[in-house]
Chains A and B, each alone.
Chain A
Amino acid sequence: MLRLSRNPGADTALKLTVVACAMFAFVFVVMVPLYNVMCDVLGINGKTSGTAYTAVPAAVDTSREITVQFIATNNDGMPWVFRPEVRQVKVHPGEATDTVFYAANPTTAMMVAQAIPSVTPSRAAGFFHKTECFCFDQQPLDGKASAQMPLQFVVDQDLPEDIRTITLSYTLFDVTAMTGNRVAVR
């Protein structure tokens, strides 16, 4: 085995120091990516993908009806009006569905928002595919402007049989400062 020092005590100590540094690196290099991968693959925290799903043409399963609920929440300090135009739809697995969210910026300055999706039950997250979503990008809105923000999704046919309701919740965050733009004038 590699010896880092002639002094056996120092040799042990140096090797353990390497271990300690490796554990520090482990947090950034392994734990964070691993957590994200586990969440992505298993839908553990209800996180759905942040990128568009490429739809695979498949038959629609008309024997199952899934209720999809939409919830819109503003995070702390976010003043926009933000709501789903339709609060609930019934869909068939495999069937592409469109819906719209309404957003309005009541301030006088341009603001940029980021919608963060979260799905419950978390088991369903991996089977809820968004082919088009306003959450993929930051959404800028000029002062006093409003927008209809589209969402297109398809529920996978392999959704476990015992899931009949899926709730998709968006939390809207003010990311104006993060984009380097000036924060809305107060």
Chain B
Amino acid sequence: MLCKKIMVFAGILLSSLPWVAQAQNQVNMSPGVTEIGAEIYDLHMLIMIICVIIGLLVFGVMFYSIIYHRKSRGVVPSQFHESTKVEIAWTAVPFFILVAMAVPATSTLLEVYDNDEAELDILITGYQWKWRYEYLDAAGEPVAFFSNLATSQEEIYNTESKGENYLLEVDEPLVIPVDTKVRFLITANDVIHSWWVPEISVKRDAIPGFINEAWSKVTKEGIYRGQCTELCGAYHGFMPVVVHAVSREEFDGWMAAKRAEQASDLAAASVEMSLEALMSEGEAVYNGQCMACHGASGEGGVGKAIAGSAIALGDVSTHMDVSIRGVSGTAMQAFGTQLSDTEMAAVITYQRNAFGNNTGDIVQPADVASYKQG
């Protein structure tokens, strides 16, 4: 019986060691892919092991008592009930153990706070319910984009089987170079969010109106997934973080491609699109951005219904205003800053022609651009 207990315990202990833990049913923190992460992991293990040892000793004494100091064994109870010496001892010894723990905790914390001399700065803004990333360069048009959950509603509502990275995949990941000290500047657009990637060992709250900073230096190329870790409303569980850590060369290439893409988005705004193209793109944008609140068939929910709505059937400029500028005091955000002109034109066109609306209206990217400029 005791042997079995030891084996079970050893099994649990072994599976908590990092190289034995698997992704599935992981029982322990991962040391991650940064030096500071490994330090944090070591600190975590140190404290946990000390606690386990103290626990075994203390419970050992208690279980001994439970077994051997039973009335049913006919023991006569002692009546001792105080000892100043013992009280002092078990006050002082834990105190010194705590001091010993505080030393590595302090040095690790000081390192976590050392944000200086970063090589790359990235502004991270939490929105309900997505992240926005902006690479802060001194010159040129900054590369900036939104990062939305890419898992489909069908997977979430169980009409399709779930992919491997269910709830931990995005349309536009954050890409950073390895072996580079990256500084994250974190804020929020609306409520408090929190940006966390366990394997990069960074978690910092995103507070509207305030800026926080954190740093990381990833040592291993790979894809690292995290989530928002501060309750921020209904879809708090649906705004993941995905970071691709790549080589310097790959990063530079990606940045160049991104700049080109942003430039061509601006250029695309002057192209005339067919109704079919607008509807197709519009459906994709609708499903990614609007459906969560306005329903898969435009039936409404948290947000108003779009099917048969006065706005979707009425004046186009009102429809554009609501979509681009949002509605102050409600959950309807200003999507004008979140979608390209092409995406905006497409989704407005889609809403005006889907769900039985059939207005026949077409909104071109140029219409959106000129509306934004007034």
Contact = CB atoms under 8 A, between A and B. Distances in A.
Query: Do A and B come together as binding partners?
Result: yes
Contacts of A45: 210
A106 B374 contact: yes
A131 interface: no
A183 B125 contact: no
Contacts of B372: 106
Interface stretch (B19-27, B245-253, B322-330): B322-330
Interface stretch (B115-123, B193-201, B278-286): B115-123
Contact of B334 (A69, A73, A79, A169): A79
Contact of B125 (A73, A88, A174): A73
A167 interface: yes
Interface of B is mostly: loop
Nearest to B331: A76
Nearest to A78: B334
Given A121-B213, A171-B209, A186-B321, A164 B187 contact: no
A152 interface: no
A69 B213 contact: no
Interface in A115-129: 116, 118-121
B211 A119 contact: yes
B186 to A, nearest CB: 9
The residue among A116, A164, A171 with the most chain B CB atoms within 10 A of its own CB is A171
Contacts of A121: 115, 213
Nearest to A90: B138
Interface of A is mostly: loop
Interface in B287-340: 321-322, 324-329, 333-334, 336-337
B209 A173 contact: yes
Contacts of A77: 325-329, 333-334
A162 B116 contact: yes
Contacts of A73: 123, 125, 187, 189
A107 interface: yes
Nearest to A144: B374
Interface in A66-114: 69, 71, 73-79, 87-88, 106-108
Interface of B: 115-118, 121, 123, 125, 136-139, 142, 185, 187, 189-190, 208-213, 321-322, 324-329, 333-334, 336-337, 372-374
